Structure 1
Amino acid sequence: MNDKRLDLETSELRYRRLFETAQDGILIVDVVSGKVTDINPFLLNMLGYTQKEILDKRIWEISVFQNIASSRKSFDDLQRKDYIRYDDFPLLTKNGKVQKVEFTSNIYRVGEEKILQCNFRDITDRKLAEEELHKTEELYREFYQKSPIGYQSLDSEGRFIEINQAWLDDMGYQRDEVIGHWFGDFLLPDQVELFRQRFSVFKATGNASTEFYMSRKNGSVVLMAFSGKIARDAKGNFKQTHCTLQDITQKHLAEEAIKENQRKYKALFESISDAVFVCYIESRKWSDEFVELNKMASSMLGYDHEELLKISAKNLFFYASSGLLLKETTDDLYAQHMITRESNLRHKDGHIIPVEITFHLFDLQGRPAVLTLAHDISNRKIAAYELEQSHSRLIKAEQVAGFGYWEFDLSSGLVNPSEGARAIYGLTEDTVTIPFVQMIPVPEYRASLDTALNNLITQNIPYDIEFKIKRPSDWAILYIHSIAEFDPERNVVFGTIQDITKRKQAEELLRVSEARFRSTFDQSPIGAAIYDSDLKYRQVNDKFCRMLGYSDKELNSLTVRDITYTDDLDQDIDQLNHLKNGDINRYETDKRYLHKNGSIFWAHISVAIIKDSDGNFLYYLAMIMDITARKEAEDALQKYKLIAEDSRDIILFMDRITGQILEANNAAVKAYGYSRKELLTMKIQDLSNPQAKMLTEKQIDYAYAHGMLFETSHMRKDGSIFPVEVSSRGADIEGTTTLINIIRDTTARKQAENALNESLQNYQVLFNSVTDAILVHQPEADYSVGKFIEVNDAAMSMLGYNRKELLQITPAEILLDGKYRIDEAPDIIRNVEQSNEVVAEYTLVTKKGELIPVELHSRMFELGGKRTVITLARDIRERKKLEEEQKKLRYQSEMSSRLAAVGEMAAGIAHEINNPLTGVIGFASILMEREDLPRDVMEQLQIINSGSQRVVDIVKRMLTFARQAKPVRHQVNITELIDNTLELRSYVLKTANIAVIKQYEPGLPLLTVDPGQMQQVILNLILNAEYSMKKAHEKGTLNITVSKAGDRVKLSFRDDGLGMPPEILAKLFQPFFTTKEPGEGTGLGLSLSHGIILEHGGTIRGESTPGEGAEFIIELPVMISDRMPAVTDPNAAVQSPTQKASILVIDDEAAIRTLIRIVLVQDSYKVDECAVPQEAMSMIEKNKYDAILLDIRMPGVSGIELYSEIIAKWPKLAKRVIFITGDTSSELLINHDIPCIKKPFNIAVLKSALAKILSKAD
């Protein structure tokens, strides 16, 4: 019977432990009533309810389970199905949180009961992990679909498997026009073979970064940059390529254009007054050395810090003489985490120091460690010893007994004590006085003793009194009883004293004993009751009251019969009678009581009787223990067994030390393929995958103490391996340290995770293949910026942060002036939300502080239910350089265009002036050759001629500005040119109080320039400086510096005049722009200078600050080839031929034709005139001419067009054509050595040119 009960208790303990430690929630429901009959701690903790809130309630009445059975009808459906499983069931906890669980239910019988077992497995972490994987995959998929960068995936043959919308948009194709086609079909023909070669290399190396010229659907050619990686299967075989492509056509063109144009705990620890030691303790073994200790530890023990660190904790705290056992202390420490002990420490000099040691177990850097505080209790030990000695003397004095006799001789004032009295009073002096004796009683009794003595003497009132004394001999406190009488004749008071200390102590002990009994009775952890022979309760304790739900007053009005369950009453009364009659000394039994609320509960009672001093019956004394839980455990045992056996998870009980399997359920038999008998002969190691890593001893200890959830793999009987998730927790069953392992086959879950991970890896390859930075962040609910949640490799490379650093910051922290832009963020994010894509330019700041201009492409999508912004950041530094270069080119082109327009205008004006000017100068010259004219007329003609020559100079300058005067370059000394120009202005500079400071670097090279043009530039700069300084302060200093700068010579003209703001500097070289007052300047000086310098291959720029003057800097190349076209100089005089010729003059100006005719006729030439080119052709056909003087600019047909017809019809005559023009910039004149006379000309030049060409005639 006892063995069966022991087996029952063992099984109940084992399965109860399984129920309580299970890592799944378990709920037991009575099928008939629908009431919850049991719930394990794991499920209570998961739901946030107490057991009282769940038990005995119908399942459909509990809100948390309404999703399972919201009505009685659905509960009936549930129980009819026997087994139900929900893989993803939302469970509402008490605090309103939705808990994701895997729900299963089973129905089985226990005896006559039919119960429903519901299992709840918390899958929150798994769901979170799956959601995180899905979220990440969604992020990459969204990026793939919406990225502005093109993506493509090719198979091993180079055929398209996948492309995104950006690819299609960029290339102009539809999806079905691309998928399945070979990549080479979209390349330019000369790129196909190159693709074959590079694709082979790509497949071999796994990485690609290349460029190809592709053909769009519309036929346009685009240069694409490709970056990609190879995706492989689990065996490493080729699966597909993942490539990004980016249109770099403009970038490539920009790079080419740029190449053509130009090529960054201690203070507190030490302040503790106790000695502090810290050491590790692993697997219940103390380390050999301390980790740390404070100065007090060294001071207390006499060691220096380093010596003490090397002493073993075991040797310091647990040496044999201390009386402490290492194992006992360690076990207590692991059980309680903090314990205090008294021990002794040995000083370095050998003496013993008594200490109170507190050990505290804690976690130090992931390892168990012990913090030890040692408090010196030497003084306390000394005090305790003295107290003990005093206590011994007191006990000794209390053992003295007997009476003493004494007399007070009132006449002499002396006391005559007997030896007994002396012993009691502790009188040692031979002579004792009454006042001395009267001081021996303690002060509170002295007044009453004096009164009693006085009443005895004066009124003869009996003297019988108890009091306390403090014995002088040993200062012991005694209780004294004294009786005295008065002898008036002798005038003596005499009496006896008795030491009643022991009696008083006995009375005190009795009082304490009664109090202790009452305290024990009232505070007993089990119920206690006293009742009389009528079974009426006389006294009950609080525990018994709480068991039954009554107050003590209520119970004391009841009898045992009133609260005993009817079926148990007769047996109970029968046993009480046997006890009262003396048949038995005590009786014990299990009985049922009736609770005040009507419920029944089980109790184990032990009853004895209380007798008086004569052995007669007084009362029954009953001790009552609530055994409801034990009774329920016996009923629940069968339920727990069924829970274990019907569980779909593997359950193994194993010995923690040996790994021996102690018990296994049906799921284990099915999963491993062994019979239960075979399993119970095996160890857990026999089921583990030999290749899997076994748990260490430390991990096993941790699992036993705290529980552990881990993943590994197990092996079936047939040798197959399968992944498992193990929940392991410890329990002490029958003295065996047991590990309860709940094991779940995770094969299906692993397969799903692997598929998801493979998809994730594919998208990650794509994500990190992009050469532009990709940054993903999730804005807050108020549209303010949030931290980055994902970045690609290019982002880390661009910004100089690692991934962890970037995921800790927000976009504002990498934007230039981000803290100022943060207020704009909500509006920007809303704009992104409302638009398909937002493109903007910003400047990013790298970790090192480098500024990078970028073009940001931002799009918004939803990820995990939250707004998510994905931004592609493209580095546009090269593009910015190109734009700056193009800006310069546009400026130069604009300047050239403006100068050309002004030049055309100047050329037209010069032509219009030169024609009449030729007549004025020519006729003046003819008149001046006459000798018959009066002197005053001659002087007037001279004035006319001189004025006309001035006009000639003005026209020449205009033509120079218009590039229509032919420059004549040769090597010159630039400093001499500057000095000559200064000499021209020396008088003006001197009278204007302007000092000139010259700084010429010695050894300067000669420059190949047109001296006249260059002097004009220098003069313009000097004149502008003069004007500015006069305006500023009517004086000034002009600094002129010339130095060598590489292969160029640098000229600087710096004044201290008015200076100019930036907006003026920007327009300085524009034609007709001037800052001078009307009539003081034309606005052409600097424009002309700018054109001359550019023509010489140099540069000119201005720098200025308002109020601080201006500086103009010219840089000229040291060597410039002189390739100016040679124009025939007609000024060389030749002798007139003896034979006179026939000349045709063609010019639309009558004055010029008349002048030439007069001049030539005087020299006996035959001269015909013609104003219209068409008429000239007719005249040439009819007449023979030796030479033709031909104007270039004429209405209708120009002189050049007429010359072309003459060449075609009369080539020999064409060689004797002399052009008469004010425009020498014609390409015909420059590229062909055709004689030309520049208007205005003098007569000698005309005659010389004509004579020269006629001398070359046939």
Structure 2
Amino acid sequence: MMNRFFGSRWISFFNSRTQASTSGERAKMDSKTPSFCLIKDAPKLERRKDSQIHATLMNHSRDIILFIRYEDGRILEANVAAERAYGYSREELLRLSLYDVRAPEAIATIDAQLSEARTRSLLFETSHRHKDGRTFPVEVSSKEAIIGGQSVMVSIVRDISVRKKVDEALQQSRERFRKAIDSMPDVVLIYDRDLRIQYINPATTRKSGRPAADFIGRLEEEVWPRETFSLWRPALEKALASGEVQTLEIDFPSPLGLRHLVVTCVPLLDAQGRVQEVMSITHDLTARKKAEEALRHSEQRLQTAFEETEKQRRLLDAVISYAPVGIAILKEPKHRFLTINAAFGPFVEDKEVVIGHCFADVFPEAAARIVPILDSVFEKGEPFYASDEPFHLLRGGRTQEAFFTFIYAPWYNIRGRIGGVMMLALETTERKRGEDRLKKSLMEKEVLLQEIHHRVKNNMQVINSLMNLQASKIKDKKLLAYFKEATSRVHVMSLIHDSLYRSENLSEIDLQPYIKQLTQSILRMYTVAGVKVEIDADHIHLDMDQAIPCGLIINELTTNALKYAFPRHRAGVFSIQALNNNQAYVSLVVSDNGIGLPEDIDIRRTNTLGLKLVHGLVDQLGGTIEVDRSGPGTRYVIRFPVRHS
């Protein structure tokens, strides 16, 4: 293009050379940026035509055109685009200098650029300032021109705000792409067209255990064994040649064993759409393959379990259907009948009428008693047992009371959660009536047995009275003593029957009150002044077969002590202990602190009836007897096992 300025002619041209400015800013020229040179002599161009070209260039150029004086940077000429870009009118611009339209941070480079533009063309990027103070990035192409004999700098300024935003967005996109690759757990490598590695992500170094320096700039065969690299090399070459994504699955031998990998080769294109590089993404499918295999096995086991469950369900249905026990399954909410079996028939006449209805609606008279039980079993998941519960049923056209044993258990649905309650009902009406008859019979027999004990006691008291009456006529003291001892023994047995008659348990006697009653009776028979009696007895229950021998032993030893241990009104202590520490044996200890047994008496070979009777009774109890004469008085220790009726 030609123009005339200050009476001279100039022409703009396109230059593709790239240069660097001495100011340190990057200077470059491309084929789309106009540069200018002066044509000092253009005699064939007419002035009018030159003026039209000048007007067209200055008025219609999208780029800013500035003519700047070297000496002070003064703007000598500006086009319409400059007015729009800076917000100044042409007249205002011609009063400004380059320093006024530069951004403050870029003013420092102006002097060097003015000086450098005298010797060569410049292309650089900087920031200019709008009238309102805002700044915007620009690309400037400057060159010296001689106009009217004056050397000036002609600058073509292009607003590159949009390009900068595009570049920034592109850079951000690349950065996001790089971060995404860096954060991938898969192995990622980028190769050039010679299959030389240009990039690896951190996962590659982590999984291979080798630094990035072992990969970058090297061919694949320099990194991996050829037999290994040959597994995926064909896919890389095909992606480079065809520009299409290639995917393959391989089995890769590693120190951890055989790994199942899927390799994806993605061609990377340049601005012209040509394949420049290829990226390989290797994903380890080993865990997924194992999981799939485990899933297949699990599905097989589940199928087997399902089939087995189905068998069990059919078996359970058969058991429920034909069980002799009434079974009903009540489902939430409100305990609705889900199913009942045939044995549940006594409760309902028509099965179809019951299914789907609430328990409280079907059995309103029993709802207050049974619904709280159903609620508790459902909420807590714990079974409940109720025995001999009364239930009114319609039989033979009239209502009859029947008895049932109910078991309420949680019912689980197919998800393993409690979905309701299973109710089992076993009729116990006949058993309950039989038990009632048996209880009545037992009560009658207990009354009869109680009466027998009462009559035996009375008979023994009659015998005792007759013996006392007979003894009153005996003058021989020795014979009288025998009668007295016999009377005492009869009294012991009489007390046994009296205790059984008064006891709630007609088969066992509590030894503690019996010993106290027996000793009081003996003390009344043998009045001994100054002798203190101590009794320490547990509540030991003996049947009649053990109570009578035990009572006779206590009677003989107590009588013997009161008669012989404390002569001539000697004071002392007589004690009886009956302990049952280990529950299995009774330890009976009868002791006194009297004069003791003579040394020449062997209790095992004595001729006295009392001691012979004691030994015989101990043997009858299956026990043992020990006599301790080491201390003052005599101490008898008798142990025998307890037999409970």
TM-score between both structures, scaled by the size of structure 1: 0.20
TM-score between both structures, scaled by the size of structure 2: 0.36
